[in-house]
Amino acid sequence: MRRDIFQAIADPTRRAILALIALQAMTPNAIAEHFDSTRQAVSKHIQILTECEAVTQRQSGREIYYHINFEKMKEIDKWLEDFRKMWDDRFNQLDDLLNNIK
């Protein structure tokens, strides 16, 4: 199954993992310590994030560190850009209407 970045952010746990590793690279065990779920469940989320290319991994000795892939995150930003423009236009229209009412 081909996964995309939107599948990566569809789950709140995966979004939390992305927020964690956005600050610094972490090992799976370090990531799992931040959650009440099992290490196996966190590993499955990391696997999905990797398949979506939202995270990359780097081996350092015996440890694997996961890093956020900011380039892949840009796909979300590009998708949201059209909505951002629409919201800005609507807020500007509302501002104009409110200014005319005064």
Q: What pLDDT, in 10s, does the model give residues 35-66? A: 999 999 999 999 999 999 999 999 999 999 99
pTM, two decimals, is 0.81
Angle value at C-alpha 28, between 58 and 45, nearest 5 degrees:
105
pLDDT at 1: 61
The answer to whether residue 3 scores a pLDDT higher than 90 is no
Domain at 72, CATH number? 1.10.10.10
Mean pLDDT of 91-101: 88
Mean pLDDT of the chain: 93
* Structural domain containing residue 18: 5-101
The structural domain count of the chain equals 1
The answer to whether residue 82 scores a pLDDT higher than 80 is yes
